[in-house]
């Protein structure tokens, strides 16, 4: 599932990712943001069994990051 572009990962995005995880035993959610996630937020996802992968999209913009949230 692609959540598109957001300025940052806010509470609505967090809820959406958790909702998808609760309804699908295996999944992948992607989102592009300008503000990178903090280490504590990354650790919170990993504590929930969600792997976080970061991809810097420098060809498009110096301030654009794509995150993939994956679980199985």
What pLDDT, in 10s, does the model give residues 2-24?
A: 999 999 998 889 899 989 999 99
Q: Are 60 and 69 in contact (CB under 8 A)?
A: no
* Domains by residue range for the chain, with CATH: 2-71 (3.30.110.40)
The phi and psi torsions of 58 (rounded to 5 degrees) equal -65, -25
40-68: average pLDDT: 90
Structure tokens at 51: 């792997």
- Residues 5-37, buried b or exposed e (16+ Cβ, 10 A)? eeeebeeebeeebeebbeeeeeeebebbbeeeb
**pTM for this prediction:** 0.86
- Sheet-wide strand order for 2-6: 2-6, 27-33, 65-71, 51-56
pLDDT computed for residue 62 by the predictor: 81
């Amino acid at each position: 599932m692609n959540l598109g572009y957001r300025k940052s990962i806010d509470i609505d995005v967090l809820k959406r990712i958790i909702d998808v995880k609760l309804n699908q035993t295996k999944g992948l959610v992607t989102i592009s943001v300008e503000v990178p996630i903090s280490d504590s937020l990354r650790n919170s996802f990993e504590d929930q069994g969600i792997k976080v992968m970061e991809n810097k999209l420098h060809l498009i913009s110096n301030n654009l990051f794509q995150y993939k949230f994956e679980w199985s």
